[in-house]
Amino acid sequence: MTAQIEITEVTKRYGALTVLENLSLSIKANEFMVFLGPSGCGKSTLLRMIAGLESVDEGTIAINGRRIDTLPPGQRDLAMVFQSYALYPHMSVADNMAFGLKNIGVPADVIATRLSEAARMLEIGHLMERKPGQLSGGQRQRVAIGRAIVKEPKAFLFDEPLSNLDAALRVRTRVELAQLRHRVKSTMIFVTHDQIEAMTLADRVVVMNNRRIEQIGTPMDIYTRPATRFVATFVGSPTMNFLKAKMDSRDGFATLTLPDGATLQTAMRSDGLAPGAYELGIRAEAVRPARAGETVTTSGTVEVLERLGDRTLLYIRLSDGSMIVAEDAGLSRAAIGDRMELTLDGSRVHLFDGEGRAFHAVEAAHG
């Protein structure tokens, strides 16, 4: 009942415009795979190609070893939840869910059993006779998921299903999706531009940008070891800090000289790294105000304060004019205009070369 999906060297063009180029990807059975990327990166197109709603110009898509990209959508044994839900407006909830089953001649008693099972799971039993127009956004969302579940497909495809919900409902539905995922054992592909959805739901994330895959990895992999500068920028909030840095080797480890002359000893092995100019990437949580007695890496002036409750983000202007975001405790006493001494955690730095390739300090720790 579950599917291993193999995408091999797939290309998609609209006239002269190439939206996906020579893309290969393997999705394991029962895996929750998230396609993450900015608008227009081709993630929805890839999902729609798997669903059969877009043709494949080059390459193949196979499920459990059987090529499916030549089959019509209905014969691929997949179910999709659309961003707009795409419920049939003139059919009741029950008819919406039963339509796909009736089309393939599933016996009425089996349909009834599956419908009541899904209704119980999604708590929509009391809505079964209503029309989609009489439902709230969240309820429509559940019905759309229910319509997918009753088909008992080999894989579920979700096309930004949470983006039409308000913030509170989105969080709740996200949690419910995570729970659902463990009840319905099936392969799931989920398209989103929201990194929190990707981080919280995925077994693995495919970060896509500009027609191609930037990185495939677990959420923590993507976060702690971004493969490219794009991934480092796109994942994480606030965005990773980037500073120009000169790299030298000392005792086999990289030492960085920042634009204001400050030096930072890193935990990154320098073998294989050519000394020279790099871009230093460091997340806000690895930049803290220095406590008494701690090594001060650099200093600057607080320009903006963002109090988030559990933590405070300090936007600090360094002496060379560059901006760095540091994280402080929720009850930080920092004020705008304060002079602030900072310590940068040398074990959590990333270096990016001129081509956007990344090197990580944590690489040593993770092997």
Enumerate binding residues for other proteins (CB under 8 A): 51-53, 72-75, 78-80, 82, 84, 86-91, 99-100, 103-104, 133, 147, 151
Virtual torsion, Cα 216, 217, 218, 221, nearest 10 deg: -130
Residue 132 or 300: which CB sits closer to other proteins? 132
Exposed/middle/buried for residue 37 (C-beta within 10 Å: 0-12, 13-18, 19+)? buried
Q: How far is the CB of 80 from other proteins (least distance, A)?
A: 5
Residue 52 or 219: which CB sits closer to other proteins? 52
Residue 145 or 351: which CB sits closer to other proteins? 145
Q: How far is the CB of 50 from other proteins (least distance, A)?
A: 11
From CA 30, how far away is CA 90, in angstroms rounded? Answer: 34
Residue 23 or 143: which CB sits closer to other proteins? 143
Q: How far is the CB of 197 from other proteins (least distance, A)?
A: 21
From CA 347, how far away is CA 267, in angstroms rounded? Answer: 5
Number of neighbouring beta carbons within 10 Å of residue 257: 15
From CA 299, how far away is CA 316, in angstroms rounded? Answer: 8
In the sheet that 349-352 helps form, which strands lie side by side, from edge to edge? 263-269, 253-257, 241-250, 276-282, 349-352, 358-360
Q: For the chain, how far is it from start to end, CA to CA, in angstroms?
A: 37
Residue 101 or 122: which CB sits closer to other proteins? 101
Q: Are 300 and 289 in contact (CB under 8 A)?
A: no
Q: Which two tokens stand for residue 290?
A: 């220095």
- Does a cis peptide bond (omega within 30 degrees of 0) precede residue 226? no
* Long-range pairs of 63-67 with CB within 8 A, sequence gap ≥ 24: 63/3, 63/4, 63/5, 63/6, 63/154, 63/155, 64/3, 64/4, 64/154, 65/4, 65/6
Q: How far is the CB of 88 from other proteins (least distance, A)?
A: 6
Q: How far is the CB of 55 from other proteins (least distance, A)?
A: 13
Residue 86 or 305: which CB sits closer to other proteins? 86
In the DSSP assignment, the letter for residue 230 is H
Q: Are 9 and 58 in contact (CB under 8 A)?
A: yes
Contact residues for 331 (Cβ-Cβ < 8 A; gap 6+)? 312
Q: How far is the CB of 315 from other proteins (least distance, A)?
A: 41
Q: How far is the CB of 85 from other proteins (least distance, A)?
A: 8
Residue 95 or 194: which CB sits closer to other proteins? 95
Residue 89 or 367: which CB sits closer to other proteins? 89
Residue 186 or 224: which CB sits closer to other proteins? 186
